[in-house]
């Protein structure tokens, strides 16, 4: 069975960090990215999964329940991947996997964030956010 191929475009800063980490681990950056995005049961903290009954079917870091949306929120607040890993008590590789997933599925994650913003929720309940 052939593995489907996808094309992912990373922001330069993320790819630079991945290259640095790959150099420290003495591995190829592309191999490291493949390893980070692989959903193997032997490395549950490093894979992104979606299950209908878990966090509303949102993508999560396997074995943690932490959503990609949560990682992105911290990322947008200006936290580094290292700070996010420390704050949420995650492996750094899991944070990078979540960020890689976000960049590969940006429209999906951004739509979820927008649909669950405070203003959107208030609108759903008929509350004027500007009152």
User: Could you tell me if residue 121 is inside a domain?
Assistant: no
For residues 99 and 106, give the distance between their C-alpha atoms in angstroms, rounded to a whole number: 10
Confidence of residue 110 (pLDDT cuts 50, 70, 90): very high
The neighbouring-strand residues paired with 47 are none
Quote the domain boundaries for residue 33: 12-105
Confidence of residue 120 (pLDDT cuts 50, 70, 90): low
CA 74 vs. chain centroid, Å, equals: 11
What H or E segment, with its residue span, contains residue 100?
helix 92-104
pLDDT tens digits along 6-57: 676 777 877 787 788 778 778 887 777 666 665 444 444 448 998 888 888 8
Q: Kindly report the CATH number assigned to the domain that includes residue 47.
A: 1.10.10.10
Average pLDDT over residues 91-103: 93
DSSP state of 124: H
- Total of domains in the chain: 1
Q: Can you give the length of the chain in residues?
A: 131
User: Could you tell me if residue 127 is inside a domain?
Assistant: no
User: Could you tell me if residue 125 is inside a domain?
Assistant: no
Angle (CA) 107-108-111 rounded to 5° is: 80
- Please give the model's pTM, rounded to 2 decimal places: 0.60
């Amino acid at each position: 069975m052939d593995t489907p191929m996808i094309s992912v475009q990373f922001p330069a800063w993320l790819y630079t960090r991945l290259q640095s980490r790959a150099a420290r681990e003495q591995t190829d950056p592309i191999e490291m990215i493949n390893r980070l995005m692989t959903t193997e049961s032997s490395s549950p903290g490093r894979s992104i999964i979606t299950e209908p009954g878990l966090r509303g079917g949102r993508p999560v870091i396997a074995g943690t329940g932490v959503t990609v949306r949560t990682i992105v929120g911290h990322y947008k607040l200006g936290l580094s991947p290292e700070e996010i890993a420390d704050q949420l008590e995650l492996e750094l590789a899991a944070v990078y996997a979540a960020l890689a997933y976000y960049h590969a599925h940006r429209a999906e994650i951004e739509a979820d964030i927008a649909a669950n913003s405070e203003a959107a929720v208030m609108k759903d309940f008929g509350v004027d956010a500007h009152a």
